[in-house]
Structure 1
Amino acid sequence: MTAPIPVENTYIVSLQLQRIGRHELWKGGKFSNALPYEKDSVSIVSLAEEPRIFLPDPFDCLQLHLSDSALGAFAEDNHQRRTTGFEVNPGEINEVLSNLGNALLPALAGSNIASGLFIDQVIFGMLNELTTRYGTRERSRHDDVNLSPLQLKIAQEMLVSENGGETALVDLARECKIPVSSFAGAFRAATGLSPAQWIRRYRIDLAQDLLLTTGLALRDIAARCGFADQGHLTKAFSASVGMTPSVWRRNR
């Protein structure tokens, strides 16, 4: 059994370089699991949980010590929300971490072929994989922002205005009085589409209506619907409907 480890806000990430058939993991004096760990499997334990492990057989693994301050610095440097914990199934195989870890081994063995930049890039890749796949994030006060019916109406009216196609997200968010970082997600939650997808769908629907109810030439329909020209209308219409506006009109 390993000796007690001082309690601290640090995570130990273990990447198994060979299979472990027998072991026992204890946390806070209580039995946790005795699952076998296959080669290339990953485990993450918090030193705050007072882990101890019984390993009767030889083992070989690559370990990363991730302090709370290091995770905070990584999040800040990469404009992410802070990782507050990890959730991983014990013994889960992770080929991305395995490939990155094996690329790092020669440098850890003292090889002089690896530059500091290379090592930094590999460590960055491992941290990104760990925090993205297994990390739990601190909540933001903007996580649950929703558009009210009035806010949605304001945004849609701006999008269908004469220069709506050039409207920036920051302008839409400002008029709706919500953070720009939350606007796209809130709009998609309300409509099922991104703002760009919504205005494209709106223009195609309007073009179909004009094709059915008027005898306008395609160039005039393109102008009314906010397309740059007839060619732009034809390309967008064909991509959405599966046929050109002229063919669609004849078939109706």
Structure 2
Amino acid sequence: MRQNPETNRVHLYVPAPRVQSISLNGPGEHPITVTRLRSDLEDSGMTTPHLVEDAFMISIQLRDYRGDIFLRGRKLAFNRQAAGMVLMYDYQREWSAHLRSAFDCVNIHVPRSALDAVVNDRHSGTVESLRFEPGEPEPDQTILGVVQALIPALNAPNEPNQLFLDHMGWSLGAHVVNSYAEVVHVKPAGRGHLARWQERRAKELIDANLANEISLGTLAAECGLSTSHFARAFRLTTGVPPYQWLLGRRLEQAQTFLRDEDLSIAQIADLCGFSDQSHLTRVFTRATGEPPAAWRRRQGA
């Protein structure tokens, strides 16, 4: 019987009572799925069989964890993974785990096709394998930083803008390739700025989609660039990545609308692409130091 592909993407094989998932547009528009799994049980038992596929799993613990790992039926020396440490798994190899303590982890499903897209973006071949030792945790501050940045998105999946999710997917894919991938003939990508017409076109598209979502791939295609080249060039040109530029423009638009007393804050949130009034309030307060209602009153004083 054919297995459900979600088995691996959202880790249905892990006995976890609390699960939160979010999908990132990874390199080449190949989705990278980030899932947080939690259990307070001291022994959750064994995982069930995963789907054998051409993908990898990156697992980072948010609290100290104990357990056993079996690779093709053989028990590894692993017995503990400290908070903040990273393990990697290859879904082409059959492995399982006995979860012997409570756990709070973030597992990232990365298809090989997403990593190949990073390599091909640099005019090279494919990822042959990743360099890691099964069952041996190691520190990785970049992966930890990406996970920490995504925790709010996991808690409120409707709030982050699509450009932010695209940025996180590309950042993660590029880091895995740079740090772990065994590849052949990788060429460094160019580091130029956007041409004036490309900068103008990208900003026009962002402004036209403040109330909607637009992907990094769409912006790159409109500028005639690969996605990663566009992301680097946009940041060099403007000083911020595309998702931050979009957020800044949404806040500027919100300030313009706040001067119109006929619009409610909930209406402004909708017009500016925020998921709801509370989302606008949190982002606005973090950026300006005061909530939208207070800012509006001060402008009218």
TM-score in terms of structure 1 length: 0.51
**Structure index of larger Rg:** 1
Distance in 1 between the 2:153 and 2:63 partners?
19
Any idea what the Cα deviations from partners look like across 1:1-55, whole Å, max 9, x if unmatched?
11111222211111212211x2111111112232411111111111111010111
- Matched ranges for 1:63-102 at <5 A: 63-89=107-133, 90-102=136-148
**Structure 1 residues 80 and 97, CA gap change in structure 2 (3 angstroms):** farther
Aligned match of 2:59: 14
Distance in 2 between the 1:81 and 1:59 partners?
38
Distance in 2 between the 1:64 and 1:75 partners?
19
Q: Which amino acid aligns with 1:94?
A: D
Shift of residue 78 of structure 1? 4.1
Distance in 2 between the 1:80 and 1:15 partners?
29
Distance in 2 between the 1:73 and 1:33 partners?
34
- Matched ranges for 1:206-245 at <5 A: none
Aligned match of 1:3: 48
- Matched ranges for 1:46-65 at <5 A: 46-65=90-109
- Matched ranges for 1:1-252 at <5 A: 1-20=46-65, 22-89=66-133, 90-137=136-183, 139-140=184-185
Answer whether contact 2:60 2:84 (CA < 8 A) is retained: yes
Distance in 2 between the 1:115 and 1:84 partners?
33
**Structure 1 residues 80 and 42, CA gap change in structure 2 (3 angstroms):** farther
Answer whether contact 1:38 1:93 (CA < 8 A) is retained: no
Answer whether contact 2:62 2:104 (CA < 8 A) is retained: yes
**Structure 1 residues 39 and 30, CA gap change in structure 2 (3 angstroms):** same
Answer whether contact 2:118 2:177 (CA < 8 A) is retained: no
What SS does the corresponding residue of 1:33 show, helix, strand or coil? coil
Distance in 1 between the 2:125 and 2:106 partners?
27
What SS does the corresponding residue of 2:117 show, helix, strand or coil? helix
Distance in 2 between the 1:2 and 1:112 partners?
30
Aligned residue pairs: how many? 140
**Structure 1 residues 96 and 8, CA gap change in structure 2 (3 angstroms):** same
**Structure 1 residues 29 and 127, CA gap change in structure 2 (3 angstroms):** same
Tell which deviates more after alignment, 70-79 or 87-96.
Answer: 70-79
Answer whether contact 2:61 2:84 (CA < 8 A) is retained: yes
Distance in 2 between the 1:39 and 1:129 partners?
20
Any idea what the Cα deviations from partners look like across 1:47-66, whole Å, max 9, x if unmatched?
11101011121211111112
Consecutive unaligned residues of structure 1, counting only runs of 5 or more, are 143-252
Any idea what the Cα deviations from partners look like across 1:189-227, whole Å, max 9, x if unmatched?
xxxxxxxxxxxxxxxxxxxxxxxxxxxxxxxxxxxxxxx
Answer whether contact 1:16 1:37 (CA < 8 A) is retained: yes
What SS does the corresponding residue of 2:150 show, helix, strand or coil? helix
What SS does the corresponding residue of 1:132 show, helix, strand or coil? helix
Shift of residue 75 of structure 1? 2.1
TM-score in terms of structure 2 length: 0.43
Distance in 1 between the 2:60 and 2:118 partners?
20
Shift of residue 119 of structure 1? 1.2
Distance in 2 between the 1:75 and 1:37 partners?
31
What SS does the corresponding residue of 2:75 show, helix, strand or coil? strand
How high is the sequence identity, in percent, across the aligned residues? Answer: 24
Distance in 1 between the 2:76 and 2:182 partners?
21
What SS does the corresponding residue of 1:14 show, helix, strand or coil? strand
Task: Please state which structure has a larger fraction of its residues in helix.
Answer: 1
